[in-house]
A and B are shown apart, each in its own frame.
Chain A
Amino acid sequence: MSDAVPILNALDLSIAYGKDDAVKNVTLPILEKKITAIIGPSGCGKSTFLRSLNRMNDFIDGVSHRGQILYRGSDLYAENVDPVEARLRIGMVFQKANPFPKSIYRNVAWGPGINKLPGDPNERVETALKQAALWDEVSDRLNDSALNLSGGQQQRLCIARALAMEPEIILMDEPCSALDPVSTARIEDLLFELKKKFTIVIVTHNMQQAARVSDYTAFLENGVLIEYGETDQVFTRPKETRTEEYVTGRFG
């Protein structure tokens, strides 16, 4: 499809909770400095797949992987890989906002702080909050508890928190599901901006969003990758009828 080498590459990947496979034999490249959207009906394994990309599934009991995920060509699940190191490079925004019960400032400064990232922490916090389209709303109350923010603001704070780490790849699990259209539009603008520096994988239920922001789209159903391709092609000339049904159904 493209001759670029994928920064992440899932090869025949299956992920099981106990005995049941939630993701089945998925082969999916994630291309560098592109936005890859993952779409599909609820429960089809999008979050499960996404979590496997930065080893967050390690914390869920009973999860097992078969197949491979390559990060720049080397096995992400190899014995000698430090998952902490991997998560430094591959950040994540969760489906449900999960700010720390700390101040707004300390939420954003926390990750860079414990990892002793270089530079001025204040600047880092400001930049990240601006990128996440939250700065204007919180600049005068950085020391307030993050839990006093609205749900949408909390989600943008979590985005800022991930951005402050300046990872190479950012995994976003429905980052806009709790946001109003204005904030959503700002996050989408942000994604275009971020694409210059970062690789982004975004799970979304919003077809327009996937069509608007992503370069590539993967459609999952029941844990199976039905179709993967350039977003234009997937939305306008899908190869599979199931993709077409899903995509047009949602376009309504």
Chain B
Amino acid sequence: MTALSRKSIRWGESILERVFFLCAFLSVITTAVVIFILIRETLIFFESVSVTEFLFGTRWTPLLEPKSYGILPLVAGTALIVVGVALLALPIGVACAVFLSEYASARARSIIKPTLEILAGIPTVVYGFFALTFVTPLIRNFIPDTQVFNAASAAIVVGIMVLPMVASLCDDALRAVPQSLRHGAYSLGATSFEVTTRVVVPAGLSGIFAAFVLAVSRAIGETMAVTLAAGATPNLTLNPLESIQTMTAYIVQVSLGDTPAGSLTYQTLFAVATVLFATTLILNIFGTWIMRRFREVYE
């Protein structure tokens, strides 16, 4: 009797096991297919444009004569946004998290934390609109030379956009640090500032880093708000007050246009996407490496 019923449970388990395996398998397959297509199409692109011209060329004008396929302006545009977002969201996000986990009362937390999660759910186009109608005029108020579309405005709103996520993830990371470590530090005559900065934050560093990598990935991937705020001008510049174009913004621009499939311009999509993919991949590997190197494992 018992043997029979056990057998039937095993049956259910083995079916479930297969379903789970299938799910895992599917996601791996999908990724593999995407990478395969990206690479295949990129190779076709490189039949017409040399790798050197693509990677080191300083003009990106695939839609205008004379056509030119140097991706550096798009890379610079993306970097400008990413750096701006990181400079803004990381320090403020960590500071928010420190406040939330170390100083805020339980009541304050119970209000602030859900608010952050709601903020994280605002559609990105709203942020783009906010940039155009509020942030840009504000910047132009102080620096009148600023272009109507500019990277700074985009970086600021994307920074605001990822801030709740950064703060919330960092807060989780800090709260996961065992209370006993704080007590140990206090018992050695540490002030709460010393406990926070020299025990809790270092111990939560791996989580903080994960939040950072996610924030940067989102900054790289964010398209709508960036296009609205920073425009669509491939521009090799590090001046945040000028209009730029990011890699994702370019992909959207061409995808929405009437570029015929199979044309060289169409192939640029895949080449840019491959660079985008490689960038995020390198970033992730780098992030994991840094995390392994510097994190303090507790327990």
Interface residues of chain A, those whose CB is within 8 Å of chain B, are 54, 56, 59, 84-85, 87-88, 91-92, 94, 96, 98-102, 110-111, 114-115, 145, 147, 158, 161-162, 165
Nearest-neighbor residue (CB-CB) of B191 within chain A: A84
CB contact under 8 A between A87 and B187, given known A96-B180, A98-B180, A114-B194:
yes
Instruction: Check if A91 sits within 8 Å of B187, measured CB to CB.
Output: yes
Min CB–CB distance A84 → chain B (angstroms) = 5
Nearest-neighbor residue (CB-CB) of B178 within chain A: A98
Contact partners of A92 in chain B: CB under 8 A: 187
Q: List 8 A-B contacts (CB under 8 A).
A: A54-B187, A84-B190, A91-B187, A96-B180, A98-B183, A100-B203, A101-B297, A161-B184
Q: Say yes or no for B181: interface residue by CB 8 A criterion.
A: yes
Q: Say yes or no for B186: interface residue by CB 8 A criterion.
A: yes
Min CB–CB distance B109 → chain A (angstroms) = 13
Instruction: Check if A102 sits within 8 Å of B296, measured CB to CB.
Output: yes
Instruction: Check if A165 sits within 8 Å of B189, measured CB to CB.
Output: yes
Interface residues of chain B, those whose CB is within 8 Å of chain A, are 178-191, 194, 198-199, 202-203, 296-299
Interface on chain B toward A: helix, strand, loop, or mixed SS? Answer: helix
Min CB–CB distance A159 → chain B (angstroms) = 12
Contact partners of B184 in chain A: CB under 8 A: 94, 98-100, 158, 161
Instruction: Check if A145 sits within 8 Å of B297, measured CB to CB.
Output: yes
Closest 8 CB pairs of A and B: A111-B188, A101-B296, A88-B189, A98-B180, A92-B187, A98-B184, A101-B298, A87-B189
Instruction: Check if A161 sits within 8 Å of B183, measured CB to CB.
Output: no
Min CB–CB distance A175 → chain B (angstroms) = 13
Contact partners of B194 in chain A: CB under 8 A: 114
Instruction: Check if A98 sits within 8 Å of B297, measured CB to CB.
Output: no
Cα A102 to Cα B205 with chains together (Å): 13
Instruction: Check if B199 sits within 8 Å of A100, measured CB to CB.
Output: yes
Cα A158 to Cα B187 with chains together (Å): 11
Instruction: Check if A114 sits within 8 Å of B190, measured CB to CB.
Output: yes
Contact partners of A158 in chain B: CB under 8 A: 184
Instruction: Check if A84 sits within 8 Å of B189, measured CB to CB.
Output: yes
Instruction: Check if B190 sits within 8 Å of A162, measured CB to CB.
Output: no
Other than A101-B298, A147-B298, give 5 A-B pairs with Cβ distance below 8 A: A99-B184, A100-B184, A101-B181, A101-B203, A114-B194
Contact partners of A111 in chain B: CB under 8 A: 188-190
Contact partners of B179 in chain A: CB under 8 A: 59
Min CB–CB distance A92 → chain B (angstroms) = 4
Min CB–CB distance A120 → chain B (angstroms) = 19
Min CB–CB distance B299 → chain A (angstroms) = 8
Nearest-neighbor residue (CB-CB) of A161 within chain B: B188
Contact partners of B297 in chain A: CB under 8 A: 101, 145, 147
Cα A100 to Cα B190 with chains together (Å): 13
Contact partners of B296 in chain A: CB under 8 A: 100-102
Cα A186 to Cα B297 with chains together (Å): 30
